[in-house]
Amino acid sequence: MSKPLILVLVTGMLLTGCSNTLLTKWQDQQCVRNCDDPDPAKRELFEQPVIQTLQMFIGEMGCWLVIGLHRLYTRCRRRVPAYCVGAAGGSRRAEQPCAEGYDGGGGSPAVKGVAGVAVELAGDVYQMTRGALVLFVGLFSVIFLKRHLYLFHWLALFVVVLGVAVVGMAGALFKVPETHEVGSSERDDTVLRSIVGVLLIAGAQIFTATQFVLEEHILENYAMEPLQVVGWEGIFGFSVTTVGMVVLHFSIGVTEAGRNGYFDAAEGLREMGVGNVLFSSLLIMVSIGAFNFFGISVTRSVSATSRSTIDTCRTLFIWVVSLALGWERFLPLQLLGFALLVYGTFLFNEIVQPPMRACLPSRPAEAREELLPEDPIEHM
């Protein structure tokens, strides 16, 4: 795939990914109960991570509509065999025919996606642990896909993690103090929620990393287009999430005390019809479908590890837009974190050179041939 087209895919991935996150944040700010109460503390906002997970998989299923329209448009054209990219055993990307007959490709990644998305949406602490995704993807790529990462690759991944950690740490250290006096029991509950949030999100990164690596494996070995992979993930993810919603609703969703937040499916569906929640859901569905298409296309064109580093850079654009909208306050320490984040991403994708010769491969010519895609101009 040509470099300009890869740039288009990366740009589309960043734009749609940022849009999806910002739309989700906007949805979280929608009031769904006691909205007319003059006391803001008594107003209840939309907080339904399970419902939000379901709507994301509905958005992914929407890719089948695009596939159907495209097939209808091209039904009279000669069918061209699908091709995958990627040479097994290395990070060099080259076109090769794929095995056929893999119709359920999205099932396994979708199960990982259900856990990853739901857990991330339910966690309280996000930024400091989300950076671990790139390390997990890099590690799983080496173990399961037999990729070879050089020293400067691992250095870049650690720089990305450090940058994300600094961003999250800045938000935690300079958090706006509470306007009311906090009791010891409430303080203990906040600490406990933060610890649980960190553990949940750290676990979610393992699921998401597994999803990325499985998607790369599927695209390398089976004749599936990115839209099909996203569509199958949507079907399987929707099925698993729906079953989980029903089970959780009747087991712990409704108690003798009444509503039980996240797992009360009836309350979640009721809140969907309040205010702009439904409208924001439609926008989220469109953005998540496009984001996953661009993301899987980047995985197919480059690698799952490169996708994870680029995906982490979304944090920078989201931060800038959130500042402009007044959702975040400016913290100078976060600039250092974002500088590390961007530098680590550029270093991993070889846009900038490693700082020390010791980080370079021992045989630069062969390493360059393995790590970079073939230049089509050389074969013209």
Domain ranges of the chain: 3-70+82-152+184-329
State which amino acid sits at residue 78. R
> What is the rounded average pLDDT for all residues in the chain?
75
> How far is Cα 290 from Cα 260, in angstroms, rounded to an integer?
33
Among 20-34, 68-82, 103-117, 272-286, name the one with the lowest average pLDDT: 103-117
State the alpha helices, DSSP H only, in the chain: 3-28, 49-61, 63-73, 107-122, 127-130, 132-144, 151-173, 184-221, 226-248, 265-272, 277-301, 304-312, 314-325, 332-348, 364-371
pLDDT exceeds 90 at position 153: no
pLDDT exceeds 50 at position 174: yes
pLDDT exceeds 50 at position 295: yes
Name the more confident of 117 and 317: 317
pLDDT value of residue 77? 67
Question: pTM for this one?
Answer: 0.70
Give me the mean pLDDT over the 238-257 stretch.
Answer: 81
pLDDT exceeds 80 at position 264: yes
State which amino acid sits at residue 199. L
β-strand partners of 31: 45
Name the more confident of 283 and 151: 283
**How does residue 142 score in pLDDT terms, banded at 50, 70 and 90?**
confident
Give me the mean pLDDT over the 312-318 stretch.
Answer: 83
pLDDT exceeds 60 at position 318: yes
79, with CB counted inside 10 A (0-12, 13-18, 19+), is exposed
pLDDT value of residue 2? 78
